């Protein structure tokens, strides 16, 4: 096992377009002192199903169902974590004011972090929003722009939660009502004092908070939720998931995501252990806690982080994260292609069992578990990709995905920091088109588009410093034009830069010989690659096309790198991709 060297965190100065523009506070007419958001509530969005007239969210008498919110776990006064931000659902009874119509109000908000998070929805039938201002404790300001999708027509792919009904004076409608969490950047390390909301008709704000920065943590492992799929069903079972660490540290915390869900899920107890082999732990599994409790209920669409635990996490090693599901779970957020066998127990809470005995069933997906962070370290590199990054056609249980090989290279050197490597590849994923629609139980777990998952899978990841975008072949194979893919990649680069993330892009691999990789597709692929290489939009380019293509047939992969399906590299090809990365490009 490689020895872990704890890095020293270096604070990097950010400038230009990488952070919000800052100015000294300009002189203006005196305004009232900022108030807590709840003191400004002037609209009622929630009604009892039997009394829809007690609320009027949209000005036409429609409202959210209190019963649906309760069923989703969004109960009054409950604090939920979404995209790493803690937001409190208003502690109000149905019919009472529970949100503010944004009209330039000054809101008291305090804290230091990397982003400001808003729980919002629009009610004008189209996205609603406008510019606002953050005021810092030192008197400086930064501008932001907040846009909220409409509560009845906005994309399900980016919603925080969708409720199954809309209450109206004429009766309840079987129609999805959406609520959104939207984040905007803050100037790093500056204490926020207040926020001026946009003056925007139809923009409703339920909650706002500063998302705390993740300094002191490095992402050691993660996976992206590709959809919400039927599972089990599992009743009173313990799942023991095997995950491979890319970074080491003296502390650990894990993250469970109930993304895309319509109802809460209960975790009764959870543990972590270093794996010996199979489902067996090297030592007795150590209990995790959640706010001091042994278990946690995760509302629909929300997350749960375990409390920091003193636990030595080795780098390049398998961990066992075990969690008991005391209720019946018939569907769950999943990452389908784990390329790793994990385990399900016989009935009972076996999270603390070190032996493999109770774990009699094998699964090849990762449900619910979405992240493992380690204490200290220099931060993380996030790889946003499709099946090639996901490791399709790599050897199962061998950790030969190209992100794993890249993590091994980082651990074996000392020229650059030993970043954590976070694999956010989803098989079948596309840049601009959703495969999974973003709501409901579905057999399609190829995820929402890279554009729709970028905020969750890159910007909200623990200590993300650099992102590598390696997608586009699935868009081209399913008739998206080169111009469409380029527009999507450009938007990803711009959004990353706006948050201070270093953005790299990898060229698309040749795939001639695969049924959908026609000559026309290859022409489009070359056009996208030419733009990636020469467009100057990204901070660096990984020319993976040049690494694996056959010089005699540039539209094909070299046979030595081809898994046999002409689309996915095998183990040798994936290693070649990782070995080609100039590690100096990963440094912000």
Average pLDDT of the residues in 265-288: 98
- 429 and 318 both lie in a single domain: no
pLDDT digits (tens, 9 = 90+) for 358-403: 999 999 999 999 999 999 999 999 999 999 999 999 999 999 999 9
Instruction: Give the pLDDT confidence score for residue 28 in this predicted structure.
Output: 54
- 388 and 347 both lie in a single domain: no
Instruction: Answer whether residue 1 is part of any domain.
Output: no
Q: Long-range CB contacts (< 8 A, 24+ apart) of 283-286?
A: 283/354, 284/352, 284/354, 285/320, 285/322, 285/351, 285/352, 285/353, 285/354, 286/311
Q: Which of 161, 180, 211 is the last residue of a domain?
A: 211
Which residues, 6+ apart, have CB-to-CB distance to 70 below 8 Å? none
How far apart (Å, rounded) are the C-alpha atoms in residues 425 and 455? 15
Helix/strand/coil for 200:
strand
Instruction: Give the pLDDT confidence score for residue 98 in this predicted structure.
Output: 98
| Domain interval for residue 234 | 223-375
- pLDDT bucket at 9, cuts 50 / 70 / 90: very low
Instruction: Give the pLDDT confidence score for residue 22 in this predicted structure.
Output: 53
Instruction: Answer whether residue 13 is part of any domain.
Output: no
Instruction: Give the pLDDT confidence score for residue 274 in this predicted structure.
Output: 98
Instruction: For strands 502-506 and 540-542, give the pairing.
Output: parallel
pLDDT digits (tens, 9 = 90+) for 478-487: 999 999 999 9
Instruction: Give the pLDDT confidence score for residue 215 in this predicted structure.
Output: 85
- 229 and 181 both lie in a single domain: no
Instruction: Answer whether residue 14 is part of any domain.
Output: no
User: Is the pLDDT at 282 greater than 50, yes or no?
Assistant: yes
Beta bridge partners of 484: none
Which residues, 6+ apart, have CB-to-CB distance to 1 below 8 Å? 314, 315, 316, 317
Q: What is the CATH number of the domain that holds 457?
A: 3.40.50.1110
Average pLDDT of the residues in 450-469: 98
Average pLDDT of the residues in 423-447: 98
Q: Which of 375, 401, 425 is the last residue of a domain?
A: 375
Instruction: Answer whether residue 57 is part of any domain.
Output: yes
Percent of the chain whose pLDDT exceeds 90 = 94
- 126 and 228 both lie in a single domain: no
- pLDDT bucket at 95, cuts 50 / 70 / 90: very high
Instruction: Give the pLDDT confidence score for residue 29 in this predicted structure.
Output: 59
- 203 and 230 both lie in a single domain: no
Instruction: Give the pLDDT confidence score for residue 31 in this predicted structure.
Output: 81
User: Is the pLDDT at 12 greater than 70, yes or no?
Assistant: no
Instruction: Give the pLDDT confidence score for residue 21 in this predicted structure.
Output: 54
Instruction: Answer whether residue 158 is part of any domain.
Output: yes
The count of domains in the chain is 3
For the ranges 1-15, 153-167, 294-308, 560-574, the lowest mean pLDDT is seen at: 1-15
In the chain, the N- to C-terminal Cα span, in Å, equals 28
- pLDDT bucket at 32, cuts 50 / 70 / 90: confident
Instruction: Answer whether residue 129 is part of any domain.
Output: yes
CB 85 within 8 A of CB 117: yes
Average pLDDT of the residues in 176-194: 96
- pLDDT bucket at 269, cuts 50 / 70 / 90: very high
- 74 and 95 both lie in a single domain: yes
Query: Residue 498 has what DSSP assignment?
Result: H
- 470 and 494 both lie in a single domain: yes
How far apart (Å, rounded) are the C-alpha atoms in residues 209 and 195? 10
User: Is the pLDDT at 8 greater than 60, yes or no?
Assistant: no
- 300 and 445 both lie in a single domain: no
- pLDDT bucket at 16, cuts 50 / 70 / 90: very low
- 232 and 362 both lie in a single domain: yes
Provide φ and ψ at 584, rounded to 5°: -65, -25
- pLDDT bucket at 24, cuts 50 / 70 / 90: very low
Q: Which of 355, 375, 395 is the last residue of a domain?
A: 375
Instruction: Answer whether residue 218 is part of any domain.
Output: no
User: Is the pLDDT at 1 greater than 80, yes or no?
Assistant: no
CB 161 within 8 A of CB 263: no
- 61 and 145 both lie in a single domain: yes
User: Is the pLDDT at 14 greater than 80, yes or no?
Assistant: no
Average pLDDT of the residues in 330-339: 98
- 271 and 162 both lie in a single domain: no
Instruction: Answer whether residue 217 is part of any domain.
Output: no
- 156 and 62 both lie in a single domain: yes
User: Is the pLDDT at 15 greater than 60, yes or no?
Assistant: no
């Amino acid at each position: 096992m490689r020895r872990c060297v704890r890095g020293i965190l270096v604070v990097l100065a950010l400038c230009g377009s990488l952070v919000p523009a800052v100015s000294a506070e300009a002189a203006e007419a005196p305004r009232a002192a900022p108030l807590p958001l709840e003191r400004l509530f002037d609209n009622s969005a929630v009604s009892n199903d039997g009394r829809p007239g007690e609320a009027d969210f949209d000005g036409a008498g429609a409202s959210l169902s209190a019963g649906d919110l309760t069923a989703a776990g969004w109960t009054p006064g409950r604090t939920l974590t979404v995209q790493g931000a803690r937001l409190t659902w208003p502690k109000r009874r149905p019919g009472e004011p529970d949100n503010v119509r944004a009209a330039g109000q000054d809101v008291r908000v305090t804290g230091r972090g990397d982003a400001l998070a808003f729980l919002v929805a629009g009610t004008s039938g189209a996205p609603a929003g406008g510019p606002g201002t953050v005021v810092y404790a030192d008197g400086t300001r930064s501008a932001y722009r907040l846009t909220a999708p409409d509560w009845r027509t906005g994309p399900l792919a980016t919603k925080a939660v969708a409720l199954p009904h809309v209450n109206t004076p004429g009766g309840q409608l079987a129609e999805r009502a959406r609520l959104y969490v939207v984040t905007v950047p803050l100037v790093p390390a500056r204490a926020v004092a207040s926020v001026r909301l946009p003056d925007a008709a139809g923009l409703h704000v339920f909650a706002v908070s500063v998302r705390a920065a993740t300094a002191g943590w490095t992402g050691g492992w993660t996976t992206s939720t590709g959809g919400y799929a039927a599972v089990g069903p599992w009743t009173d079972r313990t799942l023991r998931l095997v995950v491979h660490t890319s970074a080491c540290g003296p502390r650990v915390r894990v993250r469970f995501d109930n993304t895309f869900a319509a109802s809460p899920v209960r975790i009764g107890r959870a543990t972590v252990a270093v794996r010996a082999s199979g489902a067996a732990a090297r030592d007795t599994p150590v209990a995790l806690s959640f706010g001091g409790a042994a278990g946690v209920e995760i509302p629909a669409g929300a997350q749960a982080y375990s409390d920091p635990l003193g636990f030595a996490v080795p780098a390049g090693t398998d961990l066992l994260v075990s969690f008991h599901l005391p209720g019946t779970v018939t569907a769950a957020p999943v990452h389908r292609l784990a390329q790793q066998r994990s385990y399900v127990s016989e009935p009972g809470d076996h999270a603390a069992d070190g032996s493999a005995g109770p774990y009699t069933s094998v699964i090849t997906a990762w449900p619910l578990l979405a992240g493992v962070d380690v204490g200290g370290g220099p931060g993380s590199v996030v790889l946003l990709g499709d099946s090639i990054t996901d490791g399709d056609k790599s050897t199962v249980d061998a950790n030969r995905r190209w992100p794993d090989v890249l993590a091994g290279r980082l651990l074996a050197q000392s020229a650059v920091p030993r970043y954590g490597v976070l694999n956010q590849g989803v098989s079948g994923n596309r840049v601009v088109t959703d495969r999974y629609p973003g709501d409901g139980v579905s057999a399609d777990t190829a995820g929402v588009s890279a554009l729709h998952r970028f905020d969750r899978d890159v910007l909200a990841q623990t200590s993300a410093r650099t992102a590598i975008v390696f997608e586009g072949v699935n868009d081209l194979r399913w008739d998206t034009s080169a111009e469409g893919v380029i527009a999507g990649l450009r938007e990803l680069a711009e959004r990353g830069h706006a948050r201070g993330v270093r953005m790299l892009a990898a060229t698309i691999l040749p795939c001639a010989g695969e049924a959908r990789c026609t000559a026309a597709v290859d022409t489009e692929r070359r056009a996208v690659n030419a733009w990636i290489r020469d467009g100057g939009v990204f901070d660096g380019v990984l020319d993976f096309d040049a690494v694996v293509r056959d010089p005699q047939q540039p539209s094909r992969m070299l046979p030595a790198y081809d898994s046999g399906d002409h689309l996915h590299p095998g183990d040798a090809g994936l290693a070649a991709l990782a070995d080609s990365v100039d590690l100096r490009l990963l440094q912000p």
